[in-house]
Chain A
């Protein structure tokens, strides 16, 4: 069974603050993928990052960074110097790499509000 837990439901910060969105996952598969998606108020789902289970390197993309730790089954997302345009719902997701168990399981999402 797969499970993704995003314990934070809503976060509100003031512009330019740093904010970390937590994601904890459960899976019995040894090979899997982790994703983060952004859903702005317009409703579409925007791909942010994919990590496979063999790559624990942290990644930075502009103001975004991701911390993947297999030891704690976590894949946390940090936005540095947040901006109003970062206001959205953010989803963490998990998929087994192949086969009949390739369900793509999402967490419940974190609503981030960035105030000017």
Chain B
């Protein structure tokens, strides 16, 4: 049981390049989230999804797009990367944990640097 897997773990992009971050989960959870973490800012919600085929904007959606074509995958795209998008990105799901209650599960994070 892999839980939540993010790929890639590290990436360096040049300004203007595009890339897609993949979040894959094997827990059959409906809710999935993409966050960015910057020093002193905590975890800020970029986009989220409450089920297959649905997406919604979070707190800081500009410059990002997402898709949830399959329930288990939530993709985060940067069409034209900017240095301001240098950050650590976390994917999370929300659903039933092993103890039977609702829990948020996180990927290991993706460290993205835009130069």
Contacts and interface: CB of A to CB of B under 8 A. Distances in A.
B109 A109 contact: no
Nearest to B48: A103
Given A99-B50, A104-B92, A44 B40 contact: no
Contact of B109 (A9, A35, A44): A44
Q: Chain B's interface: helix, strand, loop or mixed, by majority?
A: strand
Given A100-B56, A104-B92, A47 B109 contact: no
Interface in A72-116: 91, 93, 95, 97, 99-100, 102-109
Interface in B59-115: 88, 90, 92, 94, 97, 101-106, 108-109
| 3 residue pairs, one from A and one from B, having the closest CB atoms | A108-B42, A106-B43, A45-B106
A109 B42 contact: yes
Interface size class of A (residues with CB under 8 A): 20 to 34
Interface residues of B, number: 26
Nearest to B30: A102
28 contacts: A35-B104, A43-B108, A44-B108, A45-B106, A47-B104, A47-B105, A91-B42, A91-B43, A93-B43, A93-B104, A95-B102, A95-B104, A99-B50, A103-B33, A103-B58, A104-B31, A104-B33, A104-B45, A104-B94, A104-B104, A105-B45, A106-B35, A106-B42, A107-B42, A108-B40, A108-B41, A109-B42, A109-B43
Interface of A: 6, 9, 33, 35, 37, 43-45, 47, 50, 52, 91, 93, 95, 97, 99-100, 102-109
B102 A50 contact: yes
A93 B41 CA distance: 14
Contacts of B50: 99-100, 102
Contacts of B101: 50, 52
